[in-house]
Amino acid sequence: MQRNLEDGVVQKNREFAAPERRWAWVEIDREAIRYNLKRFRKHLGPDVKIMAVVKADGYGHGAAECARTALATGASMLGVSSVDEGIELRRVGIAAPVVILAEPPQEAIPLILQYQLIPAVYNMDFALALGETADAMGRVSPYHLKVDTGMNRVGVHYSDAGDFLRTINFHRGLELQGVFTHFATADDVDTFIFKQQMGRFEEALSTIRYMGVDPGIIHAANTAAMIRYKQAHYHMVRVGIGMYGLHPSEVTRPIMELRPAMSVRARISYLKSVPVGEGVSYSHTYRSPGSVLIATLPIGYGDGISRVLSNRMDVLVGGKRYPQVGNICMDMLMFEVNQRASALNPRPAIEMGDEVVLVGRSGNEQITLDEMARIVGTINYELACRFGLRLDRVFVE
């Protein structure tokens, strides 16, 4: 793999590329994102559109870069969760339709229009304010109606969708471009709630059509529903986690092979032997058993390596696992290199500056975000987002 340090690096407004400046970074394999999207393309009917969901900085993978890759690989729309995320895409020159999946505050309406973003709509006041503002500018604002079918988070209740549209559909500043819902349990073993939500969504769609209103682009499926349920594909699917090569749950894993795009890497910044009985790191939760080298990596919980993982995770060097030891610090963590050589285990040759994989593949070994998430007690979604917060990113083709 060729590392593209010149143009491929998202520098977060900093001057130099990550590995030269700091020995800890996230690597994004663009080919993996392309592979996953092509896999979805094969799975979907030829007329089903793909919305690439790039909220939360592309689940920590870099929104703009992932959006570009997705658009070049068959996605036709982008999904974000805030006005700022939409503006960020426009500022880097992305012109594709961008849907804000949650309704922003009314104060943001001028920005929505200025940057030609498409909001989800579910509050009457917001819808009317959007229509008035657009109309005053001589414009028509597209919007997607969000229907709540059982997630019970945001959206117009499915039994009120008809009445809602009856009130705003006349507005000459508004254009209904799509109708959508979101599943609460598409990745659960149990399918009852999913089916109930499908039934309710169909009910809302029938009401809308019966009124003579064209619902436009109908969409419902997140990654899990896209993988499991063809009946939920409609005109478009909204894929987030799967595009990045991660499975929403163990239920979808056997159905489709995906390639994780994110790996987390660091280089050994210090290497020393610690005498038997000496403690390592805050609170000395680990003591040297002797005959070990302690290697330090310049990456810590400030970068997304949860402190909960202290003494419970491994790292990979040259295709082998090594146990992380001692409490994980904000900016550093340590791991143990056992120096007791045996016939089966020759003494590992580990040196300052060696590349270490915290998430990803090294030789035949692999540490997945899922493995890490299980130990932390969360889901891969959350860990991926966190790794996007401070670490710089390197994109590899």
205 binds ligand PLP (CB under 6 A): no
CA distance 87 to 89: 5
245 binds ligand PLP (CB under 6 A): no
Could you tell me the CA-to-CA distances from 324 to 106, 236, 338 in Å, in that order?
48, 44, 12
Nearer to ligand PLP, 239 or 261 (CB): 239
Q: How far is the CB of 305 from ligand PLP (least distance, A)?
A: 22
- Look up residue 196 and give its amino acid: Q
388 binds ligand PLP (CB under 6 A): no
Residue 55 annotated as catalytic: yes
Map residues 24-63 to x or -, x wherever contact with ligand PLP holds by CB under 6 A: -----------------------------x-x--------
Q: What are 286's strand-pairing partners? A: 280
Residues 296-355 that bind ligand PLP (CB under 6 A): none
**Cα–chain-centroid distance for residue 352?**
32
Q: Which two tokens stand for residue 47?
A: 């007329």
Q: Out of 73, 149, 223, 263, which residue is the one contacting ligand PLP (CB under 6 A)? A: 223
- Which one is catalytic: 55, 143, 158, 301? 55
**Cα–chain-centroid distance for residue 256?**
18
17 binds ligand PLP (CB under 6 A): no
User: Beta 270-273 vs 355-362: how paired, if at all?
Assistant: unpaired
Q: Residue 308 contacts by C-beta under 8 Å, 6 or more apart in sequence?
A: 375, 376, 377
Q: How far is the CB of 121 from ligand PLP (least distance, A)?
A: 13
Nearer to ligand PLP, 271 or 385 (CB): 385
Q: How far is the CB of 55 from ligand PLP (least distance, A)?
A: 6
172: helix, coil or strand? coil
Question: Taking Cα atoms as reference points, which of 78, 114, 129 lies closest to residue 99?
Answer: 78
Q: Out of 39, 182, 200, 247, which residue is the one contacting ligand PLP (CB under 6 A)? A: 182
Residues 67-106 that bind ligand PLP (CB under 6 A): 101
Torsion angle in degrees (nearest 10) through CA of 2, 8, 13, 19: -10
Residue 282 annotated as catalytic: yes
Given a contact cutoff of 8 angstroms between Cβ atoms, the answer to whether 272 and 294 are in contact is: yes
Q: How far is the CB of 76 from ligand PLP (least distance, A)?
A: 15
Nearer to ligand PLP, 6 or 190 (CB): 190
CA distance 94 to 164: 32
Nearer to ligand PLP, 65 or 85 (CB): 85
> For ligand PLP, how many residues bind (rule: CB under 6 A)?
13
Strand ranges (E), 326-375:
333-338, 355-362, 365-367
Measured from the Cβ of residue 93, the count of other Cβ atoms closer than 10 Å reads: 8
Crossing angle of the two packed helices 192-210 and 161-168, in degrees rounded to 10: 40
By Cβ distance, which residue is nearest to ligand PLP? 240
Q: How far is the CB of 79 from ligand PLP (least distance, A)?
A: 6
- Which one is catalytic: 12, 244, 282, 381? 282
Q: How far is the CB of 241 from ligand PLP (least distance, A)?
A: 4
Nearer to ligand PLP, 75 or 334 (CB): 75
CA distance 100 to 171: 21
Determine the interface stretch with ligand PLP among 122-130, 202-210, 219-227, 252-260 (rule: CB under 6 A): 219-227
Q: Which residue has the tokens 């670490």?
A: 391
Nearer to ligand PLP, 117 or 294 (CB): 117
Q: Out of 240, 245, 300, 360, which residue is the one contacting ligand PLP (CB under 6 A)? A: 240
CA distance 215 to 56: 28
CA distance 50 to 78: 9
260 binds ligand PLP (CB under 6 A): no
Looking at the chain, the number of H-run helices and the number of E-run strands are: 12, 21
Nearer to ligand PLP, 52 or 127 (CB): 52
- The residues that touch ligand PLP, with contacts defined as CB under 6 A, are 53, 55, 101, 182, 222-224, 238-242, 248
Please identify every residue annotated as catalytic. Answer: 55, 282
